[in-house]
Structure 1
């Protein structure tokens, strides 16, 4: 994981997954997005470990 940030912004997550912000917002509203941390300023961050676990769960569901 060298060179990868441990906490991603929503924009960074969307760029990495190649999705629109509206898609992320829709997934989050439906409870289908990776776990998010809400900072005191209201901004969201996603732990890389939570993203990796979420991606693994998506692969299992696709099988």
Structure 2
């Protein structure tokens, strides 16, 4: 059974070309991909959630 790839927040920010502050503003509005907080406090985004978020963004820009 393969596990879903978990991306660090910085990797996500680099991929989507967004600053951390802009990402958190978008997150406050409920428009960001779902974050997972690890026991050590670090944040991760699953590849599946990021890909689904990208697809949703593309559909809304049609």
- The normalised TM-score by structure 1 is 0.84
Q: How does 1:34-53 map to 2 (within 5 A)?
A: 34-53=33-52
C-alpha root-mean-square deviation of aligned residues, in Å? 1.4
| Number of aligned residue pairs | 59
- The normalised TM-score by structure 2 is 0.85
SS of 2:51's equivalent in the other structure is helix
- The separation in 1 between residues aligned to 2:8 and 2:56, in whole angstroms, is 21
Q: Once superposed, which parts of structure 1, at least 4 consecutive aligned residues long, lie more than 3 Å away?
A: none
- Structure 2 unmatched runs, 5+: none
Relative contact order higher in (CA < 8 Å, ≥ 6 apart): 2
- The separation in 1 between residues aligned to 2:38 and 2:5, in whole angstroms, is 15
1:48 Cα deviation from its structure 2 partner: 0.5
